[in-house]
Amino acid sequence: MATLLFVSAPAAVAVPEIDPFAVMNVVGLLAFAVAGALKAAEAGLDVFGVSVLGIVTALGGGTTRDVLVDRLPASLAGTWDMSVALVGVALAIVLIHSMEGRVRDHPAFLTTDAVGLSAFAATGALVGVDAGVTSFGVVILATITAVGGGSIADILIGRVPVVLRDDFYATPAVVGGLAFLAARAVGAPTGVPSGLCAAVVFSVRVLALRYDWRLPRV
Amino acid sequence: MATLLFVSAPAAVAVPEIDPFAVMNVVGLLAFAVAGALKAAEAGLDVFGVSVLGIVTALGGGTTRDVLVDRLPASLAGTWDMSVALVGVALAIVLIHSMEGRVRDHPAFLTTDAVGLSAFAATGALVGVDAGVTSFGVVILATITAVGGGSIADILIGRVPVVLRDDFYATPAVVGGLAFLAARAVGAPTGVPSGLCAAVVFSVRVLALRYDWRLPRV
Amino acid sequence: MATLLFVSAPAAVAVPEIDPFAVMNVVGLLAFAVAGALKAAEAGLDVFGVSVLGIVTALGGGTTRDVLVDRLPASLAGTWDMSVALVGVALAIVLIHSMEGRVRDHPAFLTTDAVGLSAFAATGALVGVDAGVTSFGVVILATITAVGGGSIADILIGRVPVVLRDDFYATPAVVGGLAFLAARAVGAPTGVPSGLCAAVVFSVRVLALRYDWRLPRV
């Protein structure tokens, strides 16, 4: 993946090359592993269930993304993703005892989850471009990668996925995907489209939570 | 896909070539997008949820089909599928206000859903042949493509998929898949097997609804 | 698959070559088809639902495994898997009438399910090695292949998957995956790592049931 991105990166770029995918990926994995594990602990699952849900939340979106574009999922091709997810789970097990009230309304949880959402939307968009999908496809992949892991986790514990319960959970990912496309359209250098995508997703998500945005009923 | 089908089509066919996959695909996408969106509106979801469920119902079965046969899903490879799905969602949002009683028992809903079921069973069978799967595989792909999108949508809103609640939801797709194989076995020209498949699925589904067919308990 | 395994098998092995994958695969398919069908019958589903759940439980894990490593699923590439699954469903329909009490607590059910779990964990590990995934990946594939079918079946009937309800359902598969890696690390001949994996999964699962093992809460 990294290689592919380097290849597709403009040779002219002066700044030392950082693989935007690798950065966004590790941030997303860590944030979602923590968020998933916290959600599982709140649901009263044991250590194993907490680990499973943390891992599923962290790896689920990216694995779905890779399956859709016919790549061997990063979670199987390397040990890195799984290791980061396990670190996140461990972190969550420490955190859980220091949190008060309903975890899923806790600012720490919501922020962590928003970070994962933002980073994974960016990885989805990057992989989409890399796989040569259409603009629609890029937005779809950004959204699926962002909300996929959490949705699978919610379904596993028998909950209606937050993507359907909260109007502004997937919407920020869609907007971020569009921002990514816009940045590319104007020829922004490597790293800028994904960075902008993540920033937009995060901002929209946090503002939506802060001001309790809702979409109209039909 | 289209190309592949043309290649595999008998050169002798006199009638102007119409790609059976393209026809069945657009019919299915439109019907299922409408059906999915209506189901979501009934479930009290907002505009976003309605769109998500419409899109998932329309694209879910075909995407699963493509992932199973290792193709880049049509929903990512082109803008066509997504565009048609969005048209279907818009159509549903208009329709919803003109419908009375429980949407999911409404003849308009049941017919639309049956059309989607029929068209997608045909696309599943066509892709199966194209991918060189076995006869069993063709029937399985026809069934999965037909019931996949609706099942994912049902699971998302926390319902037991209709495929398990209604004896004659997947059964028509299985019968249609067998009809498709039979037509091919007797060397029917391009378009006939898929047309027959769709016709059989639709007839069995509608008759089952009309006469409330049930399968025996074990 | 068989071919690939032969290729990767040490030429020095004297005993007549038996494809470990083929053996484990048929055992797992049969066991899980029976287990899935029994579960469905208990849930009050009709013949069709029972067949669907038996087939899904039997083919779900392996199909997920194959999709993850980008192979055309065995269930579509050949008629063998489906045929075995159907035999298992038929067997279950006969069995169901001779069982008393809650099926899912019945020793016959639990043992059959444990056999499926063990055999499929082995096939997952074998395919993982074959696809060149990491050691982590081998353990993940062993686990997903083992618990995948049953989890999909549970979700279809609206249950929290047993993998989350029972501490020692996925854990044995993880331990078995590690045993598989250990056997390979010491250069055990073809068939030994998968045999050991299955034996370990089965033993851990049965002991966990017998002594009602639990993992600590966080």
- Angle (CA) B33-B37-B43 rounded to 5° is 150
Q: Has this prediction a pTM greater than 0.90? A: no
Residue to test with chain B: of A164, A165, A213, A214, most B Cβ within 10 A:
A164
**Residue A202: pLDDT band with limits 50, 70, 90:** very high
Parse chain C into domains and list their residue ranges.
19-209
pLDDT of residue B167 exceeding 80, the answer is no
Identify from C39, C50, C66, C76 which residue to disrupt to test chain B contact, counting B C-beta atoms within 10 A and taking the largest count: C76
**Cβ of B133 and C82 within 8 Å?**
no
**What's the rounded Cα separation, in Å, for the pair B43 and B156?**
11
Q: With bands split at pLDDT 50, 70 and 90, how would you rate the model's confidence at A217?
A: low
**Residue C134: left (phi > 0), alpha (psi -120 to 50), or beta?**
beta
Collect all residues of chain C within an 8 Å Cβ-Cβ radius of residue A49.
164, 167
The CA distance from C70 to C77, in Å, is: 13
For chain A, the first-to-last Cα distance in angstroms comes to 42
Q: CA separation (Å) from A111 to A90, A163, A206, C179?
A: 18, 16, 8, 39
Chain C residues within 8 A of B68 when measuring between CB atoms: 63, 67, 72-73, 76
Residue B86 tokens read as 């969005």
Tell me the residues of chain B between 49 and 68 that have a Cβ less than 8 Å away from chain C.
67-68
Shortest Cα distance from A73 to chain B (angstroms)?
13
Q: Establish, for the pair of chains A and C, how many residue pairs have beta carbons separated by less than 8 Å.
A: 71
Closest residue in chain C to residue B169, using alpha carbons only: C48
Percent of chain C with pLDDT over 90: 57
Residues 5-24 of B with CB under 8 A from A: none
Residue B98 has which token pair? Answer: 């003109």
Among chain C residues, CA nearest to B152:
C156
A217 or C29, which is more confident: C29
Contact present, B138 and B175 (Cβ < 8 Å): no
Q: How confident is the model at residue B217 (pLDDT cuts 50, 70, 90)?
A: low
Task: Check residue C16 and give its pLDDT.
Answer: 59
Contact at CB, C68 and A73, closer than 8 angstroms: yes
Å between A139 CA and nearest CA of chain B: 10
In this predicted model, what pLDDT tens digit does every residue of B41-82 receive, in sequence order? 888 888 888 999 999 999 999 999 999 998 899 888 888 999
**Distance set, CA B79 to CA A136, B75, C141 (Å):** 6, 7, 33
3-state secondary structure of A52: helix
Residue C14's pLDDT is: 54
Give whichever of A205-214, B26-35, C10-19 has the largest mean pLDDT: B26-35
Q: What residues form DSSP beta bridges with C46?
A: B217
B212 in C contact zone (CB under 8 Å): no
Q: Does residue B6 have a pLDDT over 80?
A: no
- In the predicted structure, residue C218 carries a pLDDT above the cut 70: no
Which pLDDT band, with edges at 50, 70 and 90, does A15 fall under? low
Mapping DSSP onto H, E and C, the string for chain B reads CHHHHHHHCCCCCCCCCCCHHHHHHHHHHHHHHHHHHHHHHHCCCEHHHHHHHHHHHHHHHHHHHHHHCCCCCHHHHCCHHHHHHHHHHHHHHHHHHHCCCCHHHCHHHHHHHHHHHHHHHHHHHHHHHHCCCCHHHHHHHHHHHHHHHHHHHHHHCCCCCHHHHCHHHHHHHHHHHHHHHHHHHCCCCCCHHHHHHHHHHHHHHHHHHHCCCCCCEC
Instruction: Judge whether C167 is closer than 8 Å to chain A, CB to CB.
Output: yes
Does residue A158 sit at the C interface (CB-CB below 8 Å)? yes
pLDDT score of B58: 96
